A = this chain, B = another copy of it.
Amino acid sequence: MTVELVNTGSELLFGKILNTHQQWLCRRLTDLGHTVLRQVAVPDTGESIEQSVREALGRADLVITTGGLGPTCDDLTRERIAALLGRRLFPDASVAENIERYFAGRRLTVPARTVVETLVPEGAEVLPNHFGTAPGLAMQVSPNPFRDGGAGSWLVMLPGPPRELRPMFEQSLAPLLKVWFPRAEGFVCRTLKTTGIGESSVEERIGDPLKHLVDAGMELGFCARVGEVDVRFVGRGLGAEAQVAEAEEITRGLVGANVFGAEDDVLESVIVRDFQKSGLTLALAESCTGGHIANRVTNISGASAVLLAGYIPYANASKVRELGVLPATLETYGAVSEETVREMALGARRASGADYAVAVTGIAGPTGGSTEKPVGLVYMAVAGPSEVVVQRKVNAFDRETFKYLTAQQAMMLLWKTAIVA
């Protein structure tokens, strides 16, 4: 089953925004066992949209468009695709209702222009939008006038905003894909999430031990991100299940200490889940990460049962006042030191009454470094019921990468100390 993506939006071609749909949709489609042949971005002009959709329908079993379903004058996807396929547009009552509900919930009147969002091409299925107003639209193009031999294709239009597109894909489109393209063969995709180990080190350790499975047809893939490496096994056909299970077992045996989860797990979700399960509570004292860890932890539903308090003692006075760091410690060792981070963690634990407290202090840069304390230097500590564990790292990256990577290291230290140990 082959797929092509058509991302519409002049802002993509002006370079005003990054096309995150490319990675997200390609990844989800790959996970579901489909092959993405091509991704195209075109401007919001009727001609570009028509031309690119016509070409894609000429090649692929499934064409997914993103964007151009909104109410403004540069939203042309629905209209131009209907014209291309010679389908009339009809107002749909369920869509109109959803739009009314959306605005009523916000105590706003429905803007007149949103009426175009209620239009549905003849024969199209509506994919409800639970996080916005424009629905997705799915239709079969069969026979397909643009394809040699006329073999049918499916055409799906998704809205541009990721927070609307992603849940719509998961809730409505993924189930439809299983109906449209029931795969006869087995397909198993399993991703292990690791941290604290590089891509080439993971590969060096598990490459040979997994060789017999790869030779037998299992795909082994790696995906390196900041502070994280995914290891992915894809098996197809009879025995795929067993192959992938064996690969997972071997991998956990060799790099298990670095595996913190699987599939969509992130460190913060694993921490909230495991702390909740164990009835443990948490406090955070973040100087150089400036609330980055707290923000990620509080993205997880259930965080309120775990996180008691966060402190962002950006100024030294705040480290003394809120966390009880001794002025003498700051003076003697400096704000970025093992001694200070230890007092910050102990102070956050004491002040909040939490079972565990994480503290971080460092130099995010680009300024503020010195010879002994370079930009990127960071101390992190975890204070628990019986001990304080301190770790020193040098994360010499741009500011945001520094914060992200430091958060990964601090959360892994917390998870190992509180849960694994």
- Which residues of A come within 8 Å of B, CB atoms? 9-20, 22-30, 35-44, 48, 52, 70-74, 105-107, 111-114, 131, 161, 163, 167, 189, 191, 198-201, 203-204, 207, 219, 221-226, 230, 232, 234, 284, 286, 289-295, 297-299, 301, 303-304, 307-315, 317-318, 321-322, 351-353, 364-368, 394, 396-401, 403
Q: Which residues of B contact A224 (CB under 8 A)?
A: 70, 161
Complexed CA–CA distance, A24 and B167 (Å): 28
Complexed CA–CA distance, A163 and B297 (Å): 23
Residue of A38, A44, A291, A351 with most partner-chain B CB within 10 A: A291
Complexed CA–CA distance, A189 and B10 (Å): 13
Whose C-beta in chain B lies nearest to the C-beta of A15? B27
User: With contacts A40-B39, A309-B315 known, is A16 near B199, CB below 8 A?
Assistant: no
Closest 8 CB pairs of A and B: A290-B298, A15-B27, A310-B312, A291-B291, A291-B294, A15-B26, A309-B318, A291-B295
Please report whether the interface of chain A is mostly helix, strand, loop or mixed according to DSSP.
mixed
User: With contacts A163-B397, A301-B367, A312-B310 known, is A13 near B41, CB below 8 A?
Assistant: no
Per assembly, the copies of the chain total 2
Complexed CA–CA distance, A24 and B19 (Å): 11
Whose C-beta in chain B lies nearest to the C-beta of A20? B18
Establish whether residues A199 and B310, one from each chain, have CB atoms under 8 Å apart when the complex forms: no
Establish whether residues A22 and B26, one from each chain, have CB atoms under 8 Å apart when the complex forms: no
Residue of A16, A131, A163, A310 with most partner-chain B CB within 10 A: A16
Residue of A286, A290, A292, A321 with most partner-chain B CB within 10 A: A290
